[in-house]
Amino acid sequence: MKKIMFTGGGSAGHVTVNLALIPRFLEEGWSVGYIGSEAGIERKLIAPISEVTYYPISTGKLRRYMDIQNVKDPFKVVKGLFQAYRLIKSNKPNVIFSKGGFVSVPVVIGAWLNKVPVLIHESDLTPGLANRISIPFATGVCTTFPETGSMLRGNKSRHVGAVVREEVRKGDAERGRAYCGFTRSKPVILVMGGSLGARKINQTVRQALTKLTKQFQIVHLCGKNQVDPSLNISGYKQFEYVNEELPDVLAMTDIVVSRAGSNSIYEFLALKKPMLLIPLTKEQSRGDQILNAQSFEKSGYCEVLYEEKLTADSLVREVEQLYGKRQVYIDTMSRTKEANALGAVYDWIMEVAKK
């Protein structure tokens, strides 16, 4: 039996591509394993797939700022490396697929030490820190943006486009409205700050609720521990995170207010959902979301509101403007030719596994 192991975690964005690929390998009769952190969101997302064996390892976070944990985490990473090395040696997979995130670094290096080929997927326009560390140990890199390949040394990258989960295309708007308690009387805004949440976006949306709920119904994905139980407003529904219900929520959505993580915005593009993107600032990140948002804005897929200019008034103004021009954005997105990224990645994994 052919064996494949996946890795990636820390946020939902580092798991979604794996979730899109796993069913295909299960259907083909592969043995599928997943190496992730002990308590990260990846474990929660993989748990419902009973056919996948989950292997937790010790992890440390790759921080760009001063923190006392930076002293402790290298030891966790070294422990995780030994755990990953032993897991890969005992399982003997034909190939490993990494979506990135800090948990993936010891897995990729452990695979290299075991001489197991690794394919990495990079969603953003510029590679993240974990993938930058991992790429020298990898067989190849799948890129979402065509510009990314020019930033990588060697001849190991291949532009595949955006991998979009098939299930997000199968949502039902009526189920979405029933899940949120919404009606057909007002359009729906979906607010997403990422699986870990976005405190500034959450605060600003709540400050603007009085104005926004006059025109819209709002489903707000707040992130872990960021639901405000004191809010009980008609036409406003908040969740930490939704998983199985997300396709239905997306189906009923008219416009999206979101961070600019690559996986999410490409799913919105595939579903033709007009976007107001609020990328993470350079102080909060390496600036990848700013580049993602600027690329989409240049293509005519979205409006961009930078966090430095985010207020309740500016949010209301931009949302109203986006909704008023929504058909322009829908028409532009409809002219975009989608590549079969999922098939391209699957084919490359098969090619590497055979070698």
Domain locations along the chain = 3-164+339-354, 170-334
pLDDT over threshold 70, residue 63: no
pLDDT over threshold 70, residue 71: no
Q: With respect to CATH, is domain 3-164+339-354 assigned 3.40.50.2000?
A: yes
Identical fold between 3-164+339-354 and 170-334: yes
pLDDT over threshold 80, residue 338: no
Give the full edge-to-edge strand order of the sheet including 53-57: 53-57, 31-37, 3-7, 95-98, 118-122, 140-143, 157-159
303: left (phi over 0), alpha (psi -120 to 50) or beta: beta
Question: Cα(9)–Cα(104) distance, rounded to whole angstroms?
Answer: 7
pLDDT tens by residue, 99-123: 999 899 999 999 999 999 999 999 8
Looking at every residue in the chain, the average pLDDT score rounds to 92
CATH number, domain 170-334: 3.40.50.2000
Q: What is the dihedral of CA 192, 121, 353, 26, to 10 degrees?
A: 0
pLDDT category, 195, cuts 50, 70, 90? low
Question: Cα(257)–Cα(48) distance, rounded to whole angstroms?
Answer: 28
pLDDT category, 199, cuts 50, 70, 90? confident
pLDDT tens by residue, 297-312: 999 999 999 999 999 9
The reported pTM is 0.80
